[in-house]
Amino acid sequence: MIQTPEQFASLNKASFEMMHTAARVSMAGFERLASLNLQAARSSFEESADMMKSLFEVKDVKSLSELTSTSMQPAADKASSYAKHCYDIASETSAELARLVEKQMADGNKQLFAAIDSMARNAPAGSEGVMTLVKSAVSAANTAFDQVNRATKQVVEMAEANVAAASKSATARTAKKAA
C-alpha cells in the first residue's frame, strides 16, 4: 500500500521504466522487421533485373521453359525463408514482452501481498476471516493466471513446432522437385 509520496514516486518511476523497456523492445523488433523488408526488397529488385536480362537473352521456347522452371524454385524457397524470419522476429519480440509482463505481474503480486499483510495488521479485531478470504482470492487469481500462462506457452511451443515441421516439409518437397 502506498503510504508516502516517495513510495508513489517510486511506483511511477518503476512503471515508466517498464513501459520504456517495452517500447524499446517493440521498436527493436520493428527495426529488425524493417531491415528484413529492406533486404527482401533489394534482393527482389536485383533478382527481377537479372530475370529480365535472362528473358531478353532467350532465343527459343525450350530456353524459356528451362528459365521459368529453374527460377520458380528459388523464389518459393526465398518466400518460405522470409516468412520464417518474420515469424522469428515476431516470436522473439513477443517472448521479450511476455517476460516483461511476467516480471511486472510478479512485482505487482509482491506489492499486493505486502498491502494485504499491512491491512491485516491494521484491521480491527474480528476481521481475520475477511482477510483470509482476500488472501485466498488473490492466491486463486494468481494460480489461475499461472495456469493460463503455462497453457499459452504450450500453445506457442506447439505452434512453433508446427511451423518448423511445415518448413522442413516444404523444403523437402522443393528438394524432391528440384532433383
Among 82-86, 93-97, 108-112, the least confident range: 108-112
Among 7-11, 45-49, 50-54, 170-174, the least confident range: 170-174
pLDDT value at position 174? 59
Task: Indicate whether 20 pLDDT > 80.
Answer: yes
pLDDT band at 141 (very low <50, low <70, confident <90, very high): confident
Per-residue pLDDT of 98-112, as tens digits, reads 899 888 888 887 877
Per-residue pLDDT of 29-78, as tens digits, reads 999 999 999 999 999 999 889 888 888 888 888 888 888 777 777 777 88
pLDDT value at position 2? 61
Alpha-carbon span 47 to 75, nearest angstrom: 9
Q: Is the pTM above the cut of 0.85? A: no
Per-residue pLDDT of 112-127, as tens digits, reads 777 777 777 777 877 7
pLDDT value at position 179? 55
